[in-house]
Amino acid sequence: MLVLDKFSIGIGDRFAHQAKAQLRAFQMLAKEGVDVVPVWNKSNREHTFIGSEPQSVFDAGQAAVKGLGWRKSWHVDADHIRLDNVDRFIPCSDFFTIDVADSIGKPASASDVQAFVARHPELVGTVEIIGINEPFTTTQSDVVRVASKYLLAVQDAGVIYRHIAKAKGEGNMIAEVSMDETDAPQTPSELLVILAALADEKIRLQTIAPKFTGRFNKGVDYMGDLVLFEKEFNDDLAIAAHAVATYGLPTNLKLSVHSGSDKFSLYPMIRRACARTGAGMHLKTAGTTWLEELIGLAEAGGDGLSLAKEIYAYALEHVEELCAPYASVIDIDRTKLPAASQVNQWSGPRFASVMRHIPGHPEFNLNVRQLLHVSFKLAAKAGSRYTDLLKVNEEIVGKQVTENIYDRHMRALFLG
């Protein structure tokens, strides 16, 4: 069985130019004695926006691995795939994030729900979980309610899983199930029901991405109740360990934190929780690297800075249209977006400081950052003009990419 190691970080590389710069951060961390596995992820949606093929993710990852002499594991994640779009990912991916959020809340058949409840008497009554102080008290109607909400999604996951396993061989794939792109978070007691159902589907689940409480906005810090998050995260870890012991899920099953970049206030909690329990963790990031490209181009000045300014000006004129698909994962205060005429006066380093995520930096502007986060389509539209600038400015751009992952993400998550 292909096993995902204890700690892994998903890295997105929208334009397939930063794999080396990303991998360098993993090498630096390994030098500090912490082994974390890189997983290059790109969703069907991103491929569609950019006009790229899944094979390009594998090729870029492999080139970086060879170029830098990386001898440890690495993976390619077909991110947020569904049955209707997974096929072109199968030959070039070994990690599959099976997205079933759309089926949450759609009713499963009453007889399937009944059969599930009958199969799982242990879920009813007082459920003691090691690591959670107060045991859950669950009635049969609670289990029926939760099963009715999630069983169809879990059955969908089973169909997609078996489809991939048939093509690829069950031993040659890492399966993640994601439920993060939905309205309501899943509570720990719901997660237990979901994991029991996923085990019934015989999915060899290595990671699960629940929706946590609070806002996981793109490219900025967590917004929500930190105390509540910490409790929920710890409870979810306990639930996952319980589900492994009770339902025979793979022993390396871990939580996957999606939209995980830039959540600086959560990293100390995640680090503590993993240290205390011995649990692993997958942190998925993606768009934070595209922002570092833009920061690098701004820093570089000249044509790079001009294009960065052009992208901002265009984005500002098309805020509604660019933000609409991301309404649930961005919070932009439009009154805090500077006019294009003002931005056009800025030096490269000034523009870079506005975008770069250093909380407390007097020039950092999280509204500009979020707007540019969802504006990567504009760089795709610029085509080779954009990617040629990435090549010409490889060094300064790569430096931003590596530092962002290593200094602001990895250090906080693994070194403290």
Give, for 250, the enclosing helix (H) or strand (E). Answer: none
User: How many chain residues are in contact with Zn ion, going by CB under 5 A?
Assistant: 2
Contact indicator for 8, 39 with CB cutoff of 8 Å: yes
- Taking the complex as a whole, the smallest distance from the CB of residue 211 to Zn ion amounts, in Å, to 9
Is residue 176 involved in binding Zn ion (CB under 5 A)? no
Eight-state DSSP code of residue 328:
G
- Taking the complex as a whole, the smallest distance from the CB of residue 47 to Zn ion amounts, in Å, to 15
- Binding flags for Zn ion, 74-113, as an x/- string (CB under 5 A): ----------------------------------------
Eight-state DSSP code of residue 214:
S
C-beta of 77 vs 299, nearer to Zn ion: 77
C-beta of 289 vs 353, nearer to Zn ion: 289
Residue number closest to Zn ion, CB atom: 258
- Taking the complex as a whole, the smallest distance from the CB of residue 287 to Zn ion amounts, in Å, to 12
Stretch that binds Zn ion, among 122-130, 228-236, 254-262, 308-316 (CB under 5 A): 254-262
Binds Zn ion by CB under 5 A, chosen from 17, 254, 258, 369: 258
Query: Which has the closest alpha carbon to 167: 89, 235, 104?
Result: 89
Residue 352 half-sphere exposure toward CB, CA atoms < 13 A: 19
Query: Which has the closest alpha carbon to 200: 112, 310, 135, 74?
Result: 112
Is residue 180 involved in binding Zn ion (CB under 5 A)? yes
Is residue 47 involved in binding Zn ion (CB under 5 A)? no
Query: Which has the closest alpha carbon to 264: 336, 216, 232?
Result: 216
* C-alpha to C-alpha distance for 399 and 6, rounded to whole angstroms: 27
Q: Which residues, 201 to 240, sit near Zn ion by CB under 5 A?
A: none
Determine how β-strand 136-138 pairs with β-strand 254-257: unpaired
- Taking the complex as a whole, the smallest distance from the CB of residue 285 to Zn ion amounts, in Å, to 11
- Taking the complex as a whole, the smallest distance from the CB of residue 209 to Zn ion amounts, in Å, to 6
Contact indicator for 11, 401 with CB cutoff of 8 Å: no
* C-alpha to C-alpha distance for 263 and 114, rounded to whole angstroms: 40
What is the binding site for Zn ion (CB under 5 A)?
A: 180, 258
